[in-house]
């Protein structure tokens, strides 16, 4: 287990789960690869990935920000 996962794993997973919840994504497989990014960066990357997967890049849900 990496040091990042030991120290921040729960917070990272919570951040990703919150974004998925904000977009009403219930059934998804998510692979998180991180080396210590800030929560805001993890959130932004997750939002981008979800918007691409849902094909709503042109019409983002601004309220989740």
Q: Would 46 be classed as within a structural domain?
A: yes
Distance of CA 31 to the CA centre of its chain: 10
Q: Would 8 be classed as within a structural domain?
A: yes
Question: What letter does residue 54 receive in the DSSP assignment?
Answer: T
Domain that holds residue 22: 3-54
Q: Would 20 be classed as within a structural domain?
A: yes
Q: How far apart are CA 9 and CA 14, in angstroms?
A: 9
Q: What is the pLDDT of residue 11?
A: 92
Q: Would 47 be classed as within a structural domain?
A: yes
Q: What is the pLDDT of residue 7?
A: 86
Q: What is the residue-level pLDDT of the chain in tens, covering all 65 positions?
A: 677 788 888 999 999 999 999 999 999 999 998 887 899 999 999 999 999 999 887 776 677 66
Q: Would 61 be classed as within a structural domain?
A: no
Q: What is the pLDDT of residue 3?
A: 78
Q: Would 41 be classed as within a structural domain?
A: yes
Verdict on whether the full-model pTM lies above 0.75: yes
Q: How far apart are CA 23 and CA 36, in angstroms?
A: 24
């Amino acid at each position: 287990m990496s040091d990042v996962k030991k120290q921040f794993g729960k917070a990272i997973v919570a951040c990703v789960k919150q974004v998925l919840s904000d977009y009403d994504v219930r059934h998804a497989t998510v692979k998180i690869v991180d080396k210590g990014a800030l929560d805001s960066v993890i959130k932004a990357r997750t939002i981008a990935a979800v918007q691409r997967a849902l094909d709503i890049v042109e019409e983002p849900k601004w309220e989740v920000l």
